[in-house]
Structures are given as C-alpha cells and as structure tokens.
Amino acid sequence: MRKICTVLLAGIYFVAPAQEQQEQKNQHKQQHHHQANYSLAAKFSPTKLQTLIFSTEVKPNWINHSDRFWYEYRTSTGKNWYLVDPQAKSRKLLFDNADLAAQVTRIVKNPFDAQHLTVENLEFTDDEKRIRFEVKSTKDTVKNEEELAKLKNKSDSIKKKVYFLEYDLAAKKLQEIDEKLKEKPKPIWASFSPDTSRIFFAKEYNLYWMDRENYEKARKDDKDSTIVEHQFTKDGTQYYAWAGDQYSVTTGGDKADEELKKRQPVRLLWSPNGQHFVLTRKDNRHLSPLWVINNVGSKRPSLETYKYLMPGETDSTEAELYLFNAAQLTYKQIPVAAFKNQTVGVYNKEMDKSSFKGKHYIGYWLGDNEEFYINRSSRDLKRIDIVAVNINGQTRTVLEERSNVYLDIKKPYFIKNGSQFIHWSQRDGWGHFYLYNKDGQLVRQLTKGEYNGNDVTGFDAATQQFTFTANGKEAKEDPYYLHHYALSINGGEPKLLNKGDVDNQIEVSESGKYFVNNASRVNKAPTSALYAANGQLIMKLEEADLSSLFAAGYKFPEPFTVKAGDGVTDLYGVMYKPFDFDSTRVYPIVEYVYPGPQTEAVNKAFGRSMDRIDRLAQMGFIVITVGNRGGHPDRSQWYHTFGYGNLRDYGLEDKKVAAEQLADRYPFIDIDRVGITGHSGGGFMSTAAMLVYPDFFKVAVSGAGNHENNIYNRWWSERHHGVLEKVSSKGDTTFTYQIERNTELAKNLKGKLLIATGDIDNNVHPANSIRMAEALIKANKRFDFVLLPGQRHGFGNMTEYFFWKMADYFAEHLLGDSKRDETDITEMNREQALKR
C-alpha cells in the first residue's frame, strides 16, 4: 500500500494524491448541503411504473400439450396476442386487434379499439380452430341461479354482465355463446380419481368422497342438502388430521366452526393404474401454540391461534406415511422412520398430458404400479435418504446423502422407462448430476467442475441427451447467470444452448423439442426468443419496450464486483444511483440487504425493483445490494454454508468491506454516512450491522426482522444455523440449540435505528421486534418504532406508507433534510388522487 505523506518545503505543502482526493471529498461535504429529492422518488412509484413498464417476458401458453403456444405482450402501443408454431417457424397475430375490437363493440355495446382491447381467460378449443374468452361490460344483469343461491343479501342480485365469446380463427368471425358452454373452474377442494368417477376431499379433519352426480350438485350449490358424501376415515382430529387442517393460521369462535364444515383439499398421489393412493399425515396436537391479536380486523379485537415450531424446542412432529387401497378405501401405515423428528416427502410425477383426464388434473406418484419414491430427512438435515416404497409395505433405501453441514436435495429424474435416474448432489462441494440405476447403483458422475448444476429440464431417448440449467460455468460472466445445457448421459462436455452474457429463464415445451428463453440483465432490456432443443435459434420473439421508462429519466443500475472480508472471495453486487446523478457531489451510501442463505437481495435480471431500491436512490443516495459469504445456494456449498453456526454475524463483515471498497473506488461515495435497510432477514441483518459495527453503520431501517432467531421458525433457524443432536447411552435422542441474538448487543447502539413490524405477523412474530425494543429501552437507547396495524409479514396495503417512512428517516439522518415536520405524506395523497 502506498504511504500517504505531507511534506513541508519552503513554506509549500505537497499533498499525496490519495490525501488530495480525500481533502476534495471533505470540501464537497462542507460546501454542499443537498435536499432530499422527494419529487424524483415519487416519479417512480408503483402506480406510475405500471404506465412506464410493460411486458418484460414471454409466458408461453402451450396449446393442448403440443409445441404450439400463444402469448400476450404489452408495449406502449397497447397489447397484442400472438400464435407461435415452432415447427413451421411462424409467429403471427392471433387476431387483428382493430377488427376484433369492432366485433366486440357490436356485441357488448361498450366501445373498444385496437389499443384498448381487454380479453380475459383466453383458451383454445380442443380442435384448436377457435378461441374462447370473456369481455366485461358495464351492462347490469341478474346473477345466475348458482350465484343467487349463495347470496346472503338477496338485494345484491345485480352484477355487471360478462360476455362469453367465441372467435373462429379461419373465418375471423366472433359470436356470443351460451355461458353454459364455459368450463367451470374446478373447486379447490376437489381431487379426482384417475377414472374421474370419484372426487375426494377433506372435511372435519377426515377424508370423504362423492360421485360425479353429487359433485355436479356441489358445483352448482355447495350447500345443497341432498348431496351424498361418503366418509372413509373416522379418527381425524384437529392437529392430527388426514387433511384440511390448516394449522398455520387458525381462528377461534363461530367462524372456526363454520370453516370446519367446509370441504377442504387433500393431496392424494395415485399409482398409474389407479389402484392405490398415498398421503402423509402429521400429529401436531402436542405442539405449542402461538398467538397474534388482530386489533383492527373486526368489531372486537380477535385472537388468532396457530401452531408454530420454534428452534431447539423438544416438541415436534413425526411424519406418517399411509397407503390406501382405492377400491376398498382401506389403508395401512408404512414404517419409514429412520431419524427422530424426521420429515417425509412423497415425490410426484411431473405434470404432462398423461396427468389429465379431460380437463381434470390427476396427481400421480413418482414410480410405477408396484413402487413409489419418497425422501426422508433428519431434523438437522445432515442425513437425507431417497427411499423406494413397495405397495406391500416393504421399503428399500435407494441412496443416502450425508454431510457435516445441512444438505439440499432435488427430485430424482427418471429415464429409460424408470430403469435409471439422474440425481442431484453437492457431495463434491458443487451441485452436480449423477446417473444411477434404479437399484441405487452409481453408474457415473455426469457433470463436474466449479459450477452449479440446477434442474434437469428434459431427456431425449433417441439421442440419450438430457438438458439442464446451470450457473457459473461460463468464464468471465457473473456466476449467478443461469444458462441451459445439453449433455449425453454417456459422458462428454455440456453444450451451451443459449449463449450470451445475460441471465436466462427457460420454459421447455412438453415434448422437449423447443424452449422459450427470456434473457435479461439489470442493465439490459429483456429479450425473448424461441430455440430448438439443440440450441438453434428458431426466432426472436420480443424485446421489452422501455421507451416510456427512459423518457421519464430512468437509468440502468451498474453491476460491480468486490472482495469479501477474506480478500479472496468475489462478491457480486449492483449500484443504484440517482437519475440526476452529479459526479461532483458526494452521496451517502445505503445498503439494501438480505442475508439469505436461501437467496440474496441482488437482482440479476431487469425487474421492477425500482419501486423500492431504485426509488430510494432518487432521494439522493447511492444504494447498493451485494452478496455475502453464506448467501445464495447457486454457488459452491462452501460459499452457501459459510454462516453455519453463526447466523447473526456471518454476513456483516462483507457488507462493511464492500462499502469501503466502493468508497475507495468512487470519490462520490461518502463512507462516513452509511445507511442500511432490509426486510425480514434483512430487518434482522440491518439491526445486527448497527450493533456489531456501531461506528460504521450510522442509520438503519429494519422491517419485520427476526431479531431473536431462537423464536423464529425452526425450518430457517435450525437449518441454516444448525441444531446439535445428542444420543444417550440408552439410545434416547435430544436436540440442543444456541444462537446469538440482536438483543444481546443492544448496549452497542450509537446511530439512528427505526424498527417496524406488522402486529399480526404470523411468520416473524411481532415479539421479535418488541423484544428488541425492550432491550434497547433497558440499555437507555433512543430509537424509533413503527407498528403497522392489521399487517402480516409483507406489510400489505401499508407497504407504500412504510417506504415513505423509510425515505424520511434516511433523508433526515443521512442528508439532514426530510419532511418529518409535515403531517401529510403528500406523495401518497397525489397517488390516491390519480387513482380516483
């Protein structure tokens, strides 16, 4: 490192360049007092962005399980609908907007034109010669018999007429058709047998079925007293139900009794021949309850009670597996226990044409008529098995995964009529694919190297190639960018199917012959294209229309790379500048954080984050997002599990050194004014940063933070921090858990901290924020606290209010300027006036 020195010679000061740069930065700080730019931030509100950003991806609607698809795409000139035939390499308008708008207007009697055509619930007929859709009108009409039967207030019998229309694609003619021809949506409670003769559901914690005749009655009026139902389990109770026990949120009183009598969905997975089905059942009766009080939801504040597994607690649940004989509706429990407090999941067959009987989806198990496959995981997630279960009740362990840290697992992908399968594992430190025989014998490792295989997307029996997604394989690219590859199961090097230094989202046709590729970066407009399975470009489909966004002053953010605290690990981030950026100014820096480890808060593709991250920058800040060791799983297992055993502090050093490196790199960043904010895990992390590095981070806004991970949910806390399993000499198994909490460091607070929570957050319980507040009060600290009434974890309809509270807080304490002395949030008032 070059030394900084000042030399006095003949009354003249010579200042080294680095010191000169710092002195210039200090002069800028002293000379310029900048106001928060509320008006620029308001230009990019969620409401305004709806008129500035249009379609950014092509979502193919595959027609009747074929390779043909249609999609809709919106630009600043309106919305168009397209029909694509990959085999013919054709893309054409599904209809002429102006002509169809004229025909719709004649029938509906409401005016439409080519740019303002609203078509909803579009679908092709089975012969693919016509399309059917709905158009809303302003005409009043009387509700139908089914709707009238459900009315509590009979005076509410009028609705706006919705026209059901059919368009002949060849004749280009539109006609209104009888609403009775419209396919009614399947009730969410209905689960069909493979021959569709019986419909299964849950009620009062037990299993029932009805025949098609009674099902049609229920579709017409679910309270019809003549409906015949058949109950075939008797011992289901609350928290030990066969199905229909939504224990995550339960409400007491009359409402609960009413809900109990309603039909509920049940997840049945069937054998291919329809002779058996399987389901899991959990006994949660002994689990400790948790509560939130809804103060604003009804006339009287109401208590919500729900079961909630906290880390380290002894109460838990053991998953049970049951196999049913479909003809007799008898069942037997399959013994699959291997670990205490284990979890069990039954693998389902991938959805394809064979999964449907007419319009009815049937859930099949992964396997054949004699065997199906499950996974079971130990509570500490260091041991995971894939197990084959025979219908005679016998089981065999197909393969085992073992590790000293927690494991991830994916569903096996069977090929060659089920004789082999492709398995994903991180056993060599990276996510890779392995070929196994059905009996669990390893054939070969299919992929290897320092990159992460993601998901298998298909297999071609003729070429013996499988396709898959992966990231980190392409040199000199952001390692998070996802790509599509093909590889022979006999070995070789993967072939890249979608070149380009961009992130990709892939959707493969059911046949596997084609895929739609949506490509983007945070600093590049999204494009969409159609490819053949071999990577040949069939046609370009769309490029997102961002003209209105740029006309409003938008500028792309800037990706960057820095080193982690170890000086070795590369971290990837994005910098968001004010759109009126002035390189001669010095700006405070704000970090938007989420620690993971299941994800990171760093956008890789163009999206709508400007309603949060970009918009905050417009207030007059440099806003950054950057990864940290222990973050996203799409890198090495070492990177992903770096924070194992240290869930409070593991990512904080990287957030600090990233800001320091950027300040060294760019003179417009003021490293003496650093803010930090985040939600949920980011709320936890932003507060932790203020307490671990109190002289560095000056201001934090922490939303819905899990400040005490000992009372956050077991899945996240035990999985990512670790739980210690102890087996006594008698064979008894116990679990111990210890984790550092933000509240333990309350005495360290020096800067400005705003804590916010929803009062009915049943994910990160409000107790997390309340206990943090208590610790700060006991430490005699000044801080700010916002309670959002009637809001759960995401803050719901108060999200926009919270944004402006956050903007005020950073403006006041990082810029010395805010509107906190004004009562009205005028920016929100203007938005509401526009909506009216």
To 5 degrees, how large is the angle CA 733–CA 735–CA 739?
A: 170
Residue 510, amino acid? E
Tell me the mean pLDDT in the region 633-641.
95
List residues bridging with 361 in a β-sheet.
356
Smallest Cα–Cα separation from 743: which of 759, 758, 755, 752?
755
Contact partners, residue 701, CB within 8 Å, separation at least 6: 675, 677, 686, 754, 756, 805, 806, 809, 810
Position 245 confidence tier, pLDDT thresholds 50, 70, 90? confident
Does pTM surpass 0.75?
Answer: yes
Owner of token pair 């990709």: 504
What is the predicted pLDDT for the residue at 37?
Answer: 95
| pLDDT of residue 457 exceeding 60 | yes
Whether the pLDDT of residue 715 is over 90: the answer is no
Residue 493 has pLDDT above 90, yes or no: yes
pLDDT for residue 726 = 87
Domain boundaries of the chain, sorted by first residue: 32-49+549-835, 62-181
DSSP code per residue over 297-309: SSSS-EEEEEE-P
| Residue in 518, 615, 628, 635 with CA at minimum distance from that of residue 557 | 615
380-385 mean pLDDT: 96
- 836 C-beta neighbours (distance < 10 Å), count: 4
What tens digit of pLDDT does each residue of 645-658 get? 998 999 999 999 99
* Section 167-187 average pLDDT: 91
- Residue 447, classified by CB atoms within 10 Å of its CB into exposed (0-12), middle (13-18) or buried (19+), is buried
DSSP lists the bridge partners of residue 135 as 163
Query: CA 290, 295, 298 angle in degrees (round to 5)?
Result: 110
**Predicted local confidence at residue 346, as pLDDT:** 97
> Which pLDDT value is given to residue 27?
56
Give the list of residues 6+ apart from residue 282 with CB closer than 8 angstroms, or none: 240, 317, 318, 319, 320
Look at residue 202 and tell me whether its pLDDT is greater than 60: yes
C-alpha dist (Å) from residue 749 to 35, 670, 688, 700: 27, 21, 10, 11
Average pLDDT over residues 63-87: 97
Closest of 696, 709, 679, 686 to residue 783, by C-alpha:
686
Tell me the mean pLDDT in the region 98-108.
Answer: 97
Instruction: State the average pLDDT over residues 425-438.
Output: 97
The secondary structure of 617-674 as a DSSP string is HTTT-EEEEE--TT--TTS-HHHHTTTTT-TTTTTHHHHHHHHHHHHHH-TTEEEEEE
User: When comparing pLDDT for 585 and 2, which is higher?
Assistant: 585
Query: Using CA atoms, how far apart are residues 332 and 330, in angstroms rounded to an integer?
Result: 7
The pLDDT of 535-540, averaged and rounded, is 98
> What's the alpha-carbon Rg for the chain, to the nearest Å?
30
DSSP letters of 210-275? Answer: EEHHHHHHHHH-TT-TT---EE-----BTTB-SS---TTSEE-SHHHHHHHTS-B----EE-TTSS
State how far the Cα of 602 lies from the Cα of 632, in Å rounded to an integer: 10
Identify which of 522, 652, 775, 544 has the alpha carbon closest to the alpha carbon of residue 55: 544
Q: 332 near 233, Cβ under 8 Å?
A: no
The mean pLDDT value of the chain amounts to: 92
Residue type, 694: P
Half-sphere exposure of 37 (CA within 13 A, CB side): 20
Average pLDDT for residues 666-683, to the nearest whole number? 97
Residue 670 in tokens: 């003021």
Please state, for a pLDDT cut of 90, what percent of the chain lies above it.
81
Q: Which CATH class is domain 32-49+549-835?
A: alpha beta
Q: Which two tokens stand for residue 791?
A: 């809001």
What is the per-residue pLDDT for 833? Answer: 74
Residue 429 has pLDDT above 60, yes or no: yes
Of 223 and 23, the one with more pLDDT? 223
Q: What angle do CA 629, 500, 495 make, to 5 degrees?
A: 90
Taken in order 346, 352, 353, 359, the sign of the CA dihedral is positive
Question: Pick the residue with more confidence: 822 or 67?
Answer: 67
Map residue 162 onto helix, strand or coil.
strand
What is the arithmetic mean of pLDDT over 125-135? 95
The residue written with tokens 């003549």 in the block is 226
pLDDT above 60: residue 159: yes
| pLDDT (mean) for 516-520 | 98
How far is CA 500 from each of CA 200, 466, 524, rounded to the nearest angstrom?
48, 21, 12
247 near 224, Cβ under 8 Å?
no
Which has the minimum average pLDDT: 132-146, 381-395, 442-456?
Answer: 132-146
Q: Give 658: exposed, middle or buried? Use CB within 10 Å, 0-12, 13-18, 19+.
A: buried
> How many other C-beta atoms lie within 10 A of the C-beta of residue 4?
12
pLDDT at 12 over 50: no
| 597 preceded by a cis bond (ω within 30 of 0) | yes
Plot region of 145 (φ>0 → left; ψ -120 to 50 → alpha; else → beta): alpha
Percent of all residues in the chain with a pLDDT value above 70, rounded to a whole number = 92
Structure confidence at residue 255 (pLDDT) = 60
Could you give the C-alpha distances from 426 to 430, 467, 634, in angstroms and in order? 5, 19, 11
Instruction: Tell the residue number behind the tokens 């968001």, with chain if given.
Output: 576
- Stretch 317-343: mean pLDDT: 95
Count of residues in the chain: 836
Tally: H helices and E strands in the chain: 16, 49
How remote is the C-alpha of 374 from its chain's centroid?
24
- CB atoms inside a 10 Å sphere around CB 216: 13
pLDDT for residue 639: 96
Q: Measured between alpha carbons, how far is 711 from 707 in angstroms, rounded to an integer?
A: 9
Highest mean pLDDT among 19-33, 238-252, 316-330: 316-330
For the purposes of burial, counting CB atoms within 10 Å of the CB of 458, is it exposed (0-12), middle (13-18) or buried (19 or more)?
Answer: buried
Amino acid at 691: L
pLDDT at 29: 53
> What are the tens digits of pLDDT across the range 497-507?
999 999 999 99
Q: Residues of 552-573 as b/e, b for ≥16 C-beta within 10 angstroms?
A: eebbbbebbebebbeeebebbb
3-state SS assignment for residue 605: coil
Q: Any idea which residue has 């810029």 for tokens?
A: 815
Q: Is the pLDDT of residue 3 over 80?
A: no
Least confident of 131-135, 248-252, 695-699: 248-252
How high is the pLDDT of residue 15?
41
Give residue 181's pLDDT. 85
Query: Confidence class of residue 318 from pLDDT cuts 50, 70 and 90?
Result: confident
Tokens of 60: 């193919």
- Is residue 764 within 8 Å of 343, Cβ to Cβ? no
**Predicted confidence band at 571 (pLDDT cuts at 50, 70, 90)?**
very high
What 8-state DSSP symbol labels residue 348? B
Q: What are phi and psi of 166, to 5 degrees?
A: -130, 135
Kindly report, residue by residue over 400-417, the tens digit of the pLDDT: 999 999 999 999 999 999
Q: Report the chain's terminal Cα–Cα distance, integer Å.
A: 61
Strand 250-251 relative to strand 302-307: parallel, antiparallel, unpaired? antiparallel
